[in-house]
Amino acid sequence: MARLEGKIAIVTGGAKGIGRHYSQALAAEGARVMIADIADGKDLVAEIAGRHGADSVASMKCDVSDEKAIKNLVAQTVERFGQIDILVNNAAVYSTLTPRSFLEWDPDLWDKVMAVNVRGSYLMVRHVAPHMMERRSGKIINIASGSPYKGVPRMLPYVTSKGAILAFTRALSRELGQYGIAVNSLSPGYILSDTGLQNTQHVEDERVPVRNARAFKRDAYPEDLLGTLVFLASNDSDFITGQSIVVDGGAINN
């Protein structure tokens, strides 16, 4: 049997980049998926519906830094699918950022990164967790990054925001444990996603050095993350909470 049969998942930023693969993987394991993104998810909905049935997926445009939009997303998800079992906080300002010196970040851009990456994750939890608390079960998976472990330079607001997600995960797990809700992070290393590959500066700066710094000396792709994502979403990880699993081919060992 598929490992997520009967489960309902929300994937933020689930229409493009790595999130697109998360949406596909959860659906392939039997979950019904609400894709929430500022980007249009209609083509992905058609693809998943074609493979797993019309009732397996829906999408909504939603900016995770906008609390009103999130309230609407959560209400529509519950109305359409009846419950929420899995939240993947994946939406982030990432692939559109150009690496630069710490002095060169416009404070407004700094605020935007924090508003989406940190506040957005909080707002999602603020409106999804009460539904999980009522049913005394749930899986919250916050997508962090290997970058705060390594102290990756020239991406300061981004790395800082992902460090916050690690702390957010640990502290939140302590509050939600009593309701049977698991809160974990998945921290990917540098992944060659379709959106990431469009940021040519980043690819040029990162690809070869990151590959060489890994125990497994190869590039990483979204597919490398899917086993861990499904594990954290499934009953196989039921006694794990407050943790961050780094999936980076052994790069932070260096």
Ligand X SMILES: NC(=O)c1ccc[n+]([C@@H]2O[C@H](COP(=O)([O-])OP(=O)(O)OC[C@H]3O[C@@H](n4cnc5c(N)ncnc54)[C@H](O)[C@@H]3O)[C@@H](O)[C@H]2O)c1
Binding site residues, ligand X, CB under 6 A: 12-13, 15-19, 37-39, 62-65, 90-95, 116, 143, 145, 188, 190-191, 193, 195-196
Q: Which residue is nearest to ligand X (CB)?
A: 17
Q: Which is nearer to ligand X, 100 or 137 (CB)?
A: 100
- Min CB(79)–ligand X separation in Å: 20
Closer residue to ligand X (CB): 18 or 156: 18
- Indicate the residue among 65 and 241 with the shorter CB distance to ligand X: 65
Q: Report, in Å, the least distance between residue 188 CB and ligand X.
A: 4
Residue 126's H or E segment, with its range, is helix 120-135
Catalytic residue among 94, 149, 158, 190: 158
Where b means 16+ CB within 10 Å and e means fewer, 51-82 reads ebeeebbbbbbbbbbbbebbeebbeebeeebe
Contact (Cβ atoms closer than 8 angstroms) between residue 79 and residue 54: no
- Nearest distance from C-beta of residue 179 to ligand X, angstroms: 25
- The answer to whether residue 158 is catalytic is yes
Residue in 200, 210, 116 with CA at minimum distance from that of residue 164: 116
Instruction: Please list, in sequence order, all residues whose beta carbon lies within 8 angstroms of the beta carbon of residue 136, skipping any fewer than 6 positions away.
Output: 179, 180, 181
Q: Which is nearer to ligand X, 93 or 125 (CB)?
A: 93
- Answer for the pair 7, 1: CB distance below 8 angstroms, yes or no: no
Residues that are catalytic: 158
